[in-house]
Amino acid sequence: MTLLSVNLNKIALLRNSRGGQLPDPMQAGRVALASGCGGITLHPRPDLRHARPADALAARTLCQGAELNLEGNPYSQAGAQYPGFLELVEACMPDQATLVPDGDSQLTSDHGWDLGTERPRLQPMIARLRGLGIRVSLFMDVDSPDIERAADVGADRIEIYTGPYAHTADAAALDACARTAERAARVGLGVNAGHDLDQHNLGALLRWVPEICEVSIGHALINEALYDGLAVTVGRYLDIIRAAR
């Protein structure tokens, strides 16, 4: 069954907006895991606006028997309170590192890798992480000409950027996701998916693209949880995943 990884960045954002420790991302993580999700995702950025390095370290302890996925730009360097993304991954030893090409000040991830340009710089970083036993996933655009290159640079998986699909949820967008997943599978890559997925569009995607191993969902899930509760919301996503299979 497709693994549901709950992204806790929005919980951390709420905490940071007030200062102090509440709401506690790790308490939210405990509720999500107790409700049956298979993993936790965090995307610590150098500006510390939501998840912080300390959250990533705490999540490693939290995710005993569950997957920890850390997202970030491998080019992000150390700052005053940020050790650098690769260094943070090495300190946390997550099960998966999802590498995204967003800039440090970018609001959210909105495009995938250009591997024709970035391969020489990216390939040794991927080898460094895989040498530690960390699965590496690359954030990729639907129908990117570089899908097969993700295998060439040493990645284990791609994560399909599903923002365009989520904004239309039509047959053409589903077909594009399916083509992308099929191309990845043919060269031995696993397929994840994420961005703007919610209870309304997830089921169709999973039925149309059976190759999807994992979905990472945060913004919509936390929004829905404000009204229905976190445990209930996680349960509804799991029901959608089971029904799709």
Q: What integer is the mean pLDDT of 182-200?
A: 98
Whether 71 is catalytic is yes
Span 23-34, pLDDT tens digits: 999 999 999 999
Span 152-170, pLDDT tens digits: 999 999 999 999 999 999 9
> Which position among 159, 195, 214, 224 bears the catalytic label?
195
pLDDT score for 110: 73
> Residue 5 and residue 13: Cα distance in Å, rounded?
18
pLDDT score for 166: 97
Residue type, 3: L
Predicted model pTM = 0.96
Count of domains for the chain: 1
Share of the chain above pLDDT 90, in %: 95
Span 59-79, pLDDT tens digits: 999 999 999 999 999 999 998
Torsion sign over Cα 57, 58, 59, 65: positive
Residue 229 has pLDDT above 80, yes or no: yes
Share of the chain above pLDDT 70, in %: 99
Whether 67 is catalytic is no
> Residue 38 and residue 214: Cα distance in Å, rounded?
9
Across the chain, what does the average pLDDT equal? 96
Read off the pLDDT band of 107 (50, 70, 90): low
pLDDT score for 109: 75
**Structural contact between residues 221 and 7, judged by C-beta atoms closer than 8 angstroms:** yes
What stretch of H or E contains 153? Answer: none
pLDDT score for 80: 86
Pick the closest to residue 26 from 4, 6, 2, 48 (CA basis): 6
Residue 11 has pLDDT above 80, yes or no: yes
CATH of the domain at 55: 3.20.20.70
Residue 106 has pLDDT above 80, yes or no: no
pLDDT score for 214: 98
> Which position among 71, 118, 159, 224 bears the catalytic label?
71
The secondary structure of 76-109 as a DSSP string is PPP-SS---HHHHHHHH--SEEEE----TT-SS-
Q: What is the span of the domain harbouring residue 229?
A: 3-244
